[in-house]
Amino acid sequence: MKQDTGQDFRSNPKIIQHYALLQEIGVFSHIDQLNKEIKSCKNLLAGAVDIFNRTTIDEILEATVWKISDQFLPSFISFLWKPFQNKEEITLKSYRNYKLCDIGVTVGSIEPFIPFFRKFPKPIAFEMFSYQLKDSVKSVDLAPLEKIDPEILIPIMGPSGLYGIVMIGRKMLEEGYNNEELYFLEQLMGFVAQAIQNHLHYEYSVRDVKTGLFNHGYFMTRLSEELARTKREEEGASLMVMDVDKFKNFNDSYGHLAGDRVLESIAHMIKQAVRTGDVPSRFGGEEFTVLLPKTPRQTAWMVAERIRTSIEAMKVPWEPPLPQVTISIGVISFDRGTNAGAEEIISHADEALYQSKENGRNRTTVWGAGLLFRIQRKSRVA
């Protein structure tokens, strides 16, 4: 059945007959308003579908930026959120003219804002937010937000509380934000919060809580997938297994919190050294793995050495100062000619790691590479 448009409605002979009366009592303006709201709802639902189809936080934010900017062009859009549930680490990303930009501001924590947005979970003018927060929380530091100078703050709320805050600058072409635009932002953020929540729940299921690297279960799944891929394609892959040298000394001499800081610092250096498609994982305890898809032996050795030397040079912030941290690494490469399964691949990498430990620690050994390795392995087996 064909649905009449607004124009079809106005051209109906019976409507034309009573046109003046209908216009006087506001029927046409009401229909125009309803059509406008329907269009806004369609835009909102289209935006929600687009946001839910994104697979990373960055993609979710970019889709949100495009949807907001299509409605009204703000001078900037900034996202402030806490990527790790149990850490204070804060991420700030800003966009101008649809592009990522650096606004040169650091925000230490969103914790002081949680009680306020739990009580008032709606978009609010920054001027009003600042006034109310300073009046209720005397010690709150709003200087970073004042430097950003947003017009509107929008909380991203979910079942776990405050995920983050969206800060929107002044409109480029018009004055202020009207009630309809604020309502649109509030509804859109509901979808954004759900998308972020879904993503975070997935991340928590595959990530190690302490280091933020992938967990053992996810690593084993990806290793099996990579072994299957190498059977189908020409390009092989590599795996490195690394262990912190004399890690027990950090826990025994400086406490387990110092040991945790060492692990977090190592994880950070590993993440800095690998590609987006690589799989850095915490295998367990003080042992880490990095799966390197489509990576030959020589390149894997170079990556391992880059990680090893960067960790050797790093300074772990702690009082009293901690001794130098080093790691030992074992590397193995595999391709379509490899008959070993996942467990055997790991076992061979562990064997290369053991050789690194035996030969003085703080070094990289490639499994099966070179006469010395084979002699040492033969000696161990004997």
- The domain spanning residue 87 has which CATH number? 3.30.450.40
- Tell me, yes or no, whether 22 and 62 share the same domain: no
Is 238:296 a contact under the CB 8 Å cutoff?
yes
- Total domains in the fold of the chain: 3
- Tell me, yes or no, whether 94 and 166 share the same domain: yes
What does the pLDDT read at residue 84?
59
Q: Tell me, yes or no, whether 240 lies in a domain.
A: yes
- Tell me, yes or no, whether 229 and 311 share the same domain: yes
Helix (H, G, I), strand (E, B) or coil at 330: strand
What does the pLDDT read at residue 323?
93
- Collect the ranges in the chain with pLDDT lower than 70: 1-9, 83-89, 135-138, 160, 369-382
Helix (H) or strand (E) holding 62: helix 57-71
Rounded to two decimals, the pTM is: 0.65
Q: Tell me, yes or no, whether 210 lies in a domain.
A: no
- For residue 326 the two structure tokens come to 């080093």
Q: Tell me, yes or no, whether 249 lies in a domain.
A: yes
Q: What tens digit of pLDDT does each residue of 49-95 get?
A: 888 888 788 888 888 888 888 888 899 999 888 765 555 568 888 99
What does the pLDDT read at residue 382?
47
Q: Tell me, yes or no, whether 193 lies in a domain.
A: yes
What's the DSSP call for residue 54? -
How far from 254 is each of 129, 247, 319, 323, CA to CA, in Å?
Answer: 43, 11, 9, 10
- Tell me, yes or no, whether 49 and 71 share the same domain: no
Q: Tell me, yes or no, whether 307 lies in a domain.
A: yes
Residue range(s) defining the domain that contains residue 187: 55-205
What does the pLDDT read at residue 379?
53
- Tell me, yes or no, whether 310 and 362 share the same domain: yes
- Tell me, yes or no, whether 33 and 62 share the same domain: no
What does the pLDDT read at residue 1?
40
Q: Half-sphere exposure of 116 toward its Cβ, with a 13 Å CA cutoff? A: 23
Q: Tell me, yes or no, whether 31 lies in a domain.
A: yes
What's the DSSP call for residue 87? S
How far from 230 is each of 41, 196, 303, CA to CA, in Å?
Answer: 48, 34, 20
Nearest residue to 267 via CA among 206, 345, 209: 209
- Among 165, 181, 205, identify where a domain stops: 205
Query: Does a cis peptide bond (omega within 30 degrees of 0) precede residue 320?
Result: yes
- Tell me, yes or no, whether 195 and 220 share the same domain: no
Q: What does the alpha-carbon distance between residue 155 and residue 194 come to, in Å, rounded to a whole number?
A: 13
Contacts of 168 (CB under 8 A, 6+ apart): 68, 74, 76, 77, 78, 150, 151, 152, 153, 154, 177, 185
Q: Residue 265, Cα to own-chain centre: how many angstroms?
A: 18
What does the pLDDT read at residue 222?
96
Q: Tell me, yes or no, whether 211 lies in a domain.
A: no
- Tell me, yes or no, whether 142 and 130 share the same domain: yes
- Tell me, yes or no, whether 12 and 71 share the same domain: no
- Tell me, yes or no, whether 232 and 374 share the same domain: yes
Nearest residue to 266 via CA among 318, 213, 218, 194: 213
- Tell me, yes or no, whether 47 and 84 share the same domain: no
